[in-house]
Chains A and B, each alone.
Chain A
Amino acid sequence: MPATYHLSHLRTLESEAVHVMREVAAEFERPVLLFSGGKDSIVLLRLAEKAFRPAPFPFAVMHIDTGHNFPEAIEFRDRRLAELGERLIIASVEDSISSGRAVDEIGPRASRNGLQTVTLLDAIAEHGFDAAFGGARRDEERARAKERILSFRDEFGQWEPQRQRPEVWSLYNGRIRRGEHARVFPISNWTELDVWQYIAEEGLEVPSIYFAHDREVFTRDGMLYAVSPFVELIDGERAFSASVRYRTVGDMSCTGAVESRAATLEEVVAEIAATELTERGQTRADDRVTEAAMEDRKRQGYF
């Protein structure tokens, strides 16, 4: 017998996320959508279409460009935004460095991951944004598992995990003072598998680096990194060619690849369903520094 008026779990998550986006658009003056070119922010763009079409988005889209991006991701970014006909703001870490707001790390393990925070907070202040949509999910990491969907940031952009506002039912408190802002995570309750399943159901395009391809890589701390102008090989590290794909799209200097032959969406989903490692644990060096690496970065204003 047919179950009456039943919405699948994916459509339930979608509907909740659309609700969040509309609430924020209505209650804030200048929201912005942070777009990295990765799968989660690709889903965010689709959700924004679901929430606001046929009108244009009631906010701009912003990319924090570390200058160490995968060229495939940048190419995809520009193409996707052009297709959507939406405005793209690029805030560049390079500019923060040349203006002296940020200092590039040096040495073979240098990463611009931490510097993004400076550029992000500066851009938020410069444009007067009072809410920033991000694609973070609670299943990614234990500090994120603790964060509210609408997460308050003080005038220094800091997250204070011990003083989060209660968030009951789907009633979001969007009141802030000038200079403060909110980070908004519409897909908080999605898992990595949900994201891929949604991409498949919606037929969304993703950058080619998510699928298996041949690449020059080297092994460091048990992870595979791409050989690129942004990293130096250190003693004993040797470049070789392998079939790899990426689970996350971050900075080339700190995002690891996984060896894989998954060349289609279905294969990627099947691979993820079978994996024994978390997305960030497998591919992100930035989370490995200390037990509370993510919490510390979030407190400072990171994504």
Chain B
Amino acid sequence: MSTRGSTSGVVANGNGDSAADDGKDAGLASEGAREMFKRLTDRPADLLRFATAGSVDDGKSTLIGRLLYDSKQVFSDQLAHVEEASQRRGQDFLDLSLLTDGLRAEREQGITIDVAYRYFATAQRRFIIADTPGHEQYTRNMVTGASTADLAIVLVDARKGMVAQSKRHAFISALLGIPHVVVCVNKMDLVDFDEAVFAAIVEDFDRFAARLELPDVTFIPISALLGDNVVDRSDAMPWYQGPPLLYHLEHVHIASDRNLIDVRFPVQWVIRPPSTSVADYRAYAGQVAGGVLRPGDEVLVLPSGQHTTIAAIDTLDGPVQEAFPPMSVALRLADDIDVSRGSTIVRPHNQPTVANKLECLVCWMSEQALSPGRRYLVKQTTRTVMLGAADVRYRIDVETLHRDETARTLELNDLGRVHLELSSPLVFDSYRRNRLTGSLIILDEATNETVAAGVILDTEVEEPGGEPKHERSPNVRWQGSRMTRARRWTSLGHGGATLWFTGLPGAGKSTIAAAVEERLIEARQPAFLLDGDNLRHGLNGDLGFDDQARSENVRRTAHVARLLAESGTVALVSLVSPFAADRQAAAALHSADDLEFIEIFVDAPLALCEERDPKGLYARARSGELAGLTGIGSPYEAPSTPDLVLGTCDETVEREVERVLELLAARGLIAG
């Protein structure tokens, strides 16, 4: 018999009796193949990009080698090569760093010089790894590898503890807005797997990181060399209760950093076939950097400021009804207006900043210091403009986080805040809000080098719709539950979602929401009504009715709703929630967690609400006794794209409840 799929034997041909076998085997093989193909293509297509960080020789490359080796992702020819190369170097162990240190100079010096990319997949996820260098000299290569990461692994050598480079890399991870950080305390084998050593480093790191914005930090004690707590749990450290690194990588909740709220479409290229082939075709090609675009949407082209409508969204496979990040598409517009590379298409009610001055934090990446005598260019999205002036506000000492305001320039690997003045305006957001429209690079016009990477800062401390200050609790870490959403919802037999009823006081939100709650509960779908008035008795009892307090009211309610939804309950929020930005923030909170958020606009005319006036509020407002009632003394911003509009007074409550239930069924949230 011939060996299949083996690589050593040779399949001989022309042998009489194998022909019969072959027919049969081919059938079986292709059935097996189909199954395998299906398994591969059906595999969860979740992609996690992570980067290593930490000081030189802390064991980053060894860790990646170990991760690949222990999860059986190393091909046998690669392994043979590592074995041979380790021996040649006189090492009596397998030097797994050789799996990623691919350059001759790296192997000679035993250090990593530039980023290496590796790819692997488990049943849970696919991974793109960027193994970055620890040496300070190569910081720009670390920034290259980390700029697109969802997660950073910061290694700390157990013997040395936090050194300057660990701090620098933690700082850069925060600067780059990497949502998750795992601190691996490595070489635990060299400190007798001592819990006290680990605890001291955790404390040190926490103290340092308290001053950075790192939303999610996890600590794991490991030995990359021996494999403890990398793929398999360590027997040598029974005191550590958490999961090994790979488990964490497979299960960490990637609160997607895609921004689905603010529509941003930087135009890269104009598709314009010669009129002989396709008559009058013109489309604007680009990659969606934020928000969801649909045909029929009214849009604004920046910086020119012209209005038009999306006529169609084209792809090679035909037009689509929705485009969202990170899709590459081509937009056709209803009007013949001036749009070209460098234009950004947005929605009129949600605009980015258009300015030729901005503040940013930069990492300087050139041997030649920032100098007023040189000519620089700034590239951001698809626009490149001349840099007029760059004024250094301060340089940051990464070890102490001290701001040196006397600094006038930035040198290789310096980090600092710079004020930029540009020859013509850019269209941008803060990096915090959007990693794609909030990042830039600086180029040296004479050498063509990329000399700096920068992230754009919020110019106002609290911009409208931005995250308010009290969401910054950097010391607090999210405690992971062992229970995944899939397990929870599958076991319970139902999932959760949030229905957000917004509208004027007296529009009928609570009546409809309460009726929907009743119907859901009767159908054994857990549901819970979060009524604005009720919440103000407890959780929100400290809040008044000024704009800020209203926003805070919405924010807290949104968080409670999200937790209920995650737990498998349908949260029914009945809240005036007058400001679009607050509702968008509530929606973003849900979409970041991949939770359904359904906005229902109860659109009863003001006159009708006033006539009903169930709580006597309008009467009091009209008499001047109550100031700032929404609709009378305070504005109500109607939703522009609600999922459902109710309350237009020609329908009964029963019918409106039906419509809500139909929508839930259509979205697959309840059985139809």
Contact = CB atoms under 8 A, between A and B. Distances in A.
**A and B co-occur in one complex:** yes
Interface of A: 1-12, 14-16, 18-19, 22-23, 25-26, 49-56, 138-139, 141-143, 145-146, 148, 161-162, 164-171, 173, 175-177, 188-189, 191, 193, 197, 200-201, 214, 219, 224, 240-243, 258-264, 266-267, 269-271, 273-278, 281-282, 291-292, 295-296
Interface stretch (B195-203, B268-276, B614-622): B268-276
A154 B22 CA distance: 54
A274 B5 CA distance: 8
B381 to A, nearest CB: 8
Contact of A9 (B7, B126, B148, B669): B126
Which of A146, A177, A276, A296 gathers the greatest number of chain B CB atoms within 10 Å? A146
Nearest to A139: B119
Contact of B11 (A12, A142, A189, A243): A243
B448 A162 contact: no
B541 interface: no
26 contacts: A1-B496, A5-B258, A15-B326, A15-B328, A18-B287, A22-B269, A22-B285, A22-B286, A26-B268, A51-B285, A54-B281, A145-B118, A161-B103, A168-B143, A168-B453, A169-B148, A170-B436, A200-B37, A269-B37, A270-B33, A270-B40, A275-B75, A276-B75, A277-B75, A292-B107, A295-B104
A1 B668 contact: yes
A200 B41 CA distance: 10
A146 B99 CA distance: 12
B45 A173 contact: no
Given A26-B341, A261-B4, A267-B33, A12 B47 contact: yes
Contact of A55 (B41, B104, B272): B272
- Say which size band chain B's interface belongs to: 35 or more
B47 A188 contact: no
A19 B268 contact: yes
A264 to B, nearest CB: 6
Given A168-B143, A242-B10, A278-B78, A173 B269 contact: no
Interface in B271-328: 271-274, 277-278, 281, 285-287, 292, 315-316, 322, 324-328
Interface stretch (B108-116, B397-405, B416-424): B108-116
B77 A167 contact: no
B55 to A, nearest CB: 20
Contact of A168 (B13, B99, B144, B322): B144
Nearest to A164: B114
Interface stretch (B231-239, B438-446, B469-477, B501-509): B438-446
Interface stretch (B24-32, B159-167, B204-212, B571-579): B24-32
A261 B379 contact: no
B128 interface: yes
Given A166-B141, A242-B11, A145 B100 contact: yes
Given A148-B144, A269-B40, A292-B104, 7 more contacts: A26-B341, A164-B141, A166-B453, A168-B441, A171-B441, A282-B77, A295-B103
A162 B76 CA distance: 29
B328 A281 contact: no
Interface in B70-96: 75-78, 81, 85
B594 A271 contact: no
Given A8-B45, A139-B119, A166-B140, A276 B36 contact: no
A101 B591 CA distance: 60
Contacts of B45: 8-10
A54 B275 CA distance: 11
A291 B107 CA distance: 10
A170 B381 CA distance: 8
B448 A175 contact: yes
Interface of B: 4-5, 7, 9-14, 22, 25-26, 29-30, 32-34, 36-37, 40-41, 45-47, 75-78, 81, 85, 99-100, 102-105, 107, 113-119, 126, 128, 140-141, 143-144, 147-148, 258, 260, 268-269, 271-274, 277-278, 281, 285-287, 292, 315-316, 322, 324-328, 341, 365, 377, 379-380, 382, 435-436, 439-441, 443, 448-450, 453, 489, 495-497, 591, 594-596, 667-669
B5 A271 contact: yes
Contacts of A243: 11, 13
A269 B10 contact: no
Nearest to A8: B45
A125 B104 CA distance: 29
A6 B148 CA distance: 18
Nearest to B32: A270
Contact of B144 (A166, A261, A263, A266): A166
B354 to A, nearest CB: 19
Contacts of A219: 10
B40 A4 contact: no
A53 B316 contact: yes
A40 B594 CA distance: 34
Contacts of A189: 117, 119, 128
A168 B100 CA distance: 20
A189 B286 CA distance: 20
A4 B325 CA distance: 12
Nearest to B39: A273
Contacts of B13: 214, 241-243
A221 to B, nearest CB: 13
Contacts of A23: 268, 382
Contacts of B104: 291-292, 295-296
Given A16-B326, A168-B144, A175-B448, A261 B669 contact: no
A297 to B, nearest CB: 12
B273 A51 contact: no
Contact of B117 (A16, A145, A270): A145
Contacts of B594: 3-4, 6
A70 B496 CA distance: 58
B7 A169 contact: no
Given A7-B327, A173-B448, A267 B489 contact: no
Nearest to B277: A54
Contacts of A3: 594
A197 B114 CA distance: 30
A55 B33 CA distance: 38
Nearest to B278: A54
B162 to A, nearest CB: 26
A160 to B, nearest CB: 11
Contacts of B268: 19, 22-23, 26
Contacts of A175: 377, 443, 448
Given A53-B316, A56-B273, A142-B102, A259 B30 contact: no
A141 to B, nearest CB: 8
Contacts of B33: 262, 264, 266-267, 269-271
Which 4 residue pairs are nearest across A and B when measured between Cβ atoms? Answer: A142-B102, A281-B77, A270-B36, A270-B33
A242 B327 CA distance: 45
Contacts of B4: 261
Nearest to B379: A171
Contacts of B9: 259
A146 B667 CA distance: 44
Given A16-B326, A54-B281, A171-B440, A266 B34 contact: yes
Contact of B77 (A165, A259, A277): A277
